[in-house]
Amino acid sequence: MFILLLILCGGIIDLFSELFYGVIIVLLSGNIVVNLKKKLSLNIFFIYSGLSIIGFVEALLGIVQFFYILPTYSVEYKMTGTFDNPAGFAICLSVLSPFSLFLLRTISHPWRIAGYSFFIISSCAIFLSESRTGILALMGVLIVHFYIFYLHQKLTRWNKALLAYAVILFLITLFVGLYFLKKDSADGRLLIWRVVWEMIKDSPLVGHGGGAFQTQYMLYQAEYFHLNPSSQFSQLADNVNYPFNEFLKIGVEYGSLGLFVLLLLIIGGISIYKKNLNPIKYPAFECIIAIAICACFSYPLKYSMTWAILGFALSIIAIEHHSNLKFRTSYIRRFAAGGALYLMLLLLQYTIAEMKWKKVVDRSLRGETEQMLPFYEELKEELGANSLFLYNYAAELHFVGHYDESIEVLTECIRYWNDYDIQLLFADCYLQKGEFEKAEECLILASNMCPNRFIPLYQLVHLYDKIGEKEKAYEFANRITHKTIKVPSFKVQCIIDEMKEYVDKGI
């Protein structure tokens, strides 16, 4: 019950950082090893059933949102379940789908019917979400499941080879179809992976360090477009804070050494799985397959639910059917209790701080920004590693004219996160202070980060006009008038009209 509640809460309130993820896995693994070693089959059945029910409820919520009966947690998407976007929703359902398939092989007729119902509804929800990663993971689970349970013992070597070719052909067709389903989005990921490769090449052995992707990726993207100004990807560029591939993220942050350690863990896991082969462990293996597929094209490890289920699946695979552990279980229980207490205290502290932050933001929006600055400074002690908080604090300081303090907070912010919006805020602070060279650098950097945006070029025109560099101002104004519009808007049209008038006036 503890495990199911933890996983459910992780899906509903996704507030955990990477520190929490590690603690969750330790707690899950220890708790499962202690509690399931005596009656593995019986306990696993109830836990698998509980996980299937969680996936079923999540899928139902998403379908209800799809038909506008209930609102989503995001104004941008119409189907997110309890997550912030369709990707997390589809990842959750695809990772939980093996447990619904497990129910199809139970002796009890009602549970088999429930398994069919849960799996069909979850599959429909994944397809309705239009998440290509979720669809791929679901197909991967189905292929592995049917091979293990229905085909492995019945096929000859020749038939297995034919089946392998058929599966490969099917996957290629599926890849091509999903690529053209959202071609621009797929091309955007190709751009990200291309830039990520440049990051890996610069530090191939040990990587750039933990969290380096969020702090350095946009700088590399800016460099890429600076060197390739006519790139076909320029219209697809945007703020990026995840590489849509967990393995590439490890490569960027921890280099080939990190990937080598991961490879050793995978090989070790496979060997343990083969030694403790048991049909009751197949759903856990399929679950890990689904997570691995999602990790190639999305960010499953961003969500606490994925970490919790991963820890559970790894424990199930590692545990023997008749465990003969030599150490005392009381040590595990104490460690788990201590870890749980530490987790709860950290989460409580962080939640209280975020609630205070929300109240401060609300009062600031009501016109009390100046009075709220001391409260921002107090919250900085607890939320000083939260890049969104630092950006919000810097924006409030900029709003009331405290430009030096805003620059100071932004400088702290780029230790955790650096992107187009931060560079624009830097630029405006420097403009207000009259430091035009620094403002120019920030605006050019922002423009290279996202070449399809109009604001940096527009501000550069006014900057050059203000300091008397009319030729540069005219050059950038002319670029704006011929610039392709990615997303039409009233603001963009006003900028274009203003720049046309500027060009018509001449230098």
Q: Are residues 403 and 477 in the same domain?
A: no
The answer on pLDDT for 297 being more than 50 is yes
Tell me whether residue 487 is in a domain.
yes
Question: Region 361-375: what's the mean pLDDT?
Answer: 91
Q: Are 78 and 65 in contact (CB under 8 A)?
A: yes
Residues 429 and 461 in one domain: no
Residue 413: its pLDDT value, please? 94
Each as own residue / partner, the long-range contacts of residues 354-361 (CB below 8 Å, 24 or more positions apart, any chain) are 354/15, 354/383, 357/383, 357/389, 357/392, 361/392
Together in a domain, 340 and 430: yes
Helix (H) or strand (E) holding 28: helix 18-36
What pLDDT was estimated at residue 9? 44
In a domain, 235, yes or no: no
Dist. CA 284–CA 312, nearest whole Å: 8
pLDDT in tens, 200-227: 999 999 889 888 899 999 999 999 999 9
Q: What letter represents residue 55's amino acid?
A: G
Residues 475 and 406 in one domain: no
**Is 404 within the bounds of a domain?**
yes
Q: How confident is the model at residue 155 (pLDDT cuts 50, 70, 90)?
A: low
Residue 369 sits in the same domain as residue 417: yes
Same domain, 429 and 339: yes
Q: What is the pLDDT of residues 67-116, one digit of tens each?
A: 988 887 777 788 888 888 899 999 999 999 999 988 887 767 788 888 88
Query: Taken in order 494, 76, 425, 447, is the CA torsion positive or negative?
Result: negative
Q: Is residue 425 part of a domain?
A: yes
Total domains, the chain: 2
Asked if 424 and 360 sit in the same domain, the reply is yes
Q: Do 395 and 467 have their domain in common?
A: no
Give, in order, the Cα–Cα distances in Å from 462 to each of 194, 429, 457, 506: 34, 15, 9, 15
**Assigned domain for 247 exists:** no
In a domain, 89, yes or no: no
Q: Which two tokens stand for residue 91?
A: 């990842």
SS3 label, residue 37: coil
| Residues 302 and 88: beta-carbon distance below 8 Å | yes
Domain assignment of residue 372, given as a range:
335-434
354: tokens are 């975020």
For residue 323, give Cα distances in angstroms to 29, 32, 80, 280. Answer: 14, 12, 40, 15
Long-range contacts of residues 352-359, Cβ cutoff 8 Å, at least 24 apart? 353/379, 353/382, 353/383, 354/15, 354/383, 357/383, 357/389, 357/392
| Band of residue 318 on the pLDDT scale cut at 50, 70, 90 | confident
Q: What is the pTM of this model?
A: 0.84
What is the 3 state secondary structure string of 200-222?
HHHCCCCCCCCCHHHHHHHHHHH
Residue 421 and residue 351 share a domain? yes
> How far is the C-alpha of 28 from the C-alpha of 13, rounded, in Å?
18
Residues 424 and 353 in one domain: yes
Specify the CATH number for the domain of residue 416: 1.25.40.10
Give the mean model confidence (pLDDT) for residues 26-33. 50
Q: What is the 3-state secondary structure (H, E, C) of 396-430?
A: HHHHCCCHHHHHHHHHHHCCCCCCHHHHHHHHHHH
424 and 341, same structural domain? yes
Query: Which residue among 403, 434, 465 closes a domain?
Result: 434
Domain annotation covers residue 42: no
Confidence of residue 326 (pLDDT cuts 50, 70, 90): very low
% of residues, the chain, pLDDT over 90? 46
Distance CA(119)–CA(106), nearest Å, equals: 15
Concatenated DSSP letters of 70-117: S--S-SS-S--TTSSSHHHHHHHHHHHHHHHHHHTTSS-HHHHHHHHH
Cα dist from 394 to 353, 390, 427, 449, whole Å = 18, 6, 13, 21
Domain boundary among 404, 434, 464: 434
Which of 244, 314, 217 is closest to 22 using CA atoms?
Answer: 314
Q: Is residue 465, in this structure, part of any structural domain at all?
A: yes
